[in-house]
């Protein structure tokens, strides 16, 4: 996968794995990573799917309707890539925290839905429920931050609440931060993610 890796100053800080939104690149969330944990190593990924020239992490059939087979295959591809990158860049595979926005939050969430202990935690900006009707892996005490919009036209409040509930039922410790700016990732939402990150005692 195309990616960028930047070595952080604090080897104990979690490595942040960045997943951009539709039409983004591996560079998009670098400023956000700097707000959340400036001392962390950063691995920014670029989605392998092209939709009308826009990069994504998996195919969709229409807005909000995912191609489930592709989602499953791409989720495995990302998981395998994380294993490989941890060897290549010598970061602690068990100390990786995802930061994703929109389509990127959805693939990061799909990783959590399919593989146990694939991440130490996750910051999901405007995620949706990636799949329904499957049994989730044990996520006991896994910290997850969800940034959501009470007027998000792509992800309804009902879907955000459903996602929070599914993750909690799997044992995760979920914090939902609500804003009222639609699907946007605002500076105040980034700030809330940064405060939450500090509260986890990872640094
Ligand atoms: C998706 O397709 O992952 C969601 O609809 C979010 C987006 O628009 O990328």
159: containing domain? 3-199
- Which of 147, 157, 153 lies closest to 186 in space, CA to CA? 147
CATH number of the CATH domain containing 101: 3.40.50.1820
The backbone torsions φ and ψ at residue 146, rounded to the nearest 5 degrees and listed phi first, read: -115, 125
Pull the structure tokens for residue 158: 């009902």
- Is residue 49 within 8 A of residue 56, CB to CB? The reply is yes
Residues with C-beta less than 6 Å from any ligand 1 atom: 21-22, 60, 63-64, 102-103, 106, 128, 154
- Crossing angle of the two packed helices 103-114 and 68-89, in degrees rounded to 10: 80
Q: How many domains does the chain have?
A: 1
Share of the chain above pLDDT 70, in %: 100
The closest-lying atom of ligand 1 relative to the alpha carbon of residue 128 is 4
pTM more than 0.95 = yes
Q: CA 180 to CA 184: how far, in whole Å?
A: 9
The backbone torsions φ and ψ at residue 174, rounded to the nearest 5 degrees and listed phi first, read: -105, 130
pLDDT tens digit sequence for 35-47: 999 999 999 999 9
pLDDT tens digit sequence for 76-85: 999 999 999 9
Ligand 1 centroid – CA 124 distance (Å): 13
**What is the radius of gyration, based on Cα positions, of the chain?**
15
């Amino acid at each position: 996968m195309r990616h960028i890796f930047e070595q952080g100053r604090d080897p104990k800080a979690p490595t942040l794995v960045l997943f951009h939104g539709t039409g983004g690149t591996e560079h998009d969330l670098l400023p956000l990573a700097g707000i959340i944990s400036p001392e962390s190593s950063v691995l920014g990924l670029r989605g392998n799917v092209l939709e009308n020239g826009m990069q994504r992490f998996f195919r969709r059939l229409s807005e909000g309707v995912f191609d489930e087979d592709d989602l499953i295959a791409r989720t495995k591809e990302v998981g395998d890539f994380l294993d490989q990158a941890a060897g290549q860049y010598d970061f602690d595979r068990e100390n990786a925290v995802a930061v994703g926005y929109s389509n990127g939050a959805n693939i990061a969430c799909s990783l959590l839905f399919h593989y146990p202990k694939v991440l130490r935690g996750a910051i999901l900006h405007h995620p949706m429920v990636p799949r329904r009707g499957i049994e989730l892996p044990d996520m006991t005490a896994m910290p997850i931050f969800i940034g959501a919009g009470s007027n998000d036209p792509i992800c309804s409040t009902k879907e955000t609440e459903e996602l929070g509930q599914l993750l909690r039922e799997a044992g995760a410790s979920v914090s939902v931060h609500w804003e009222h700016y639609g699907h946007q990732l605002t500076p105040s939402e980034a700030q809330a993610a940064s405060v939450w990150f500090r509260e986890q005692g990872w640094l």
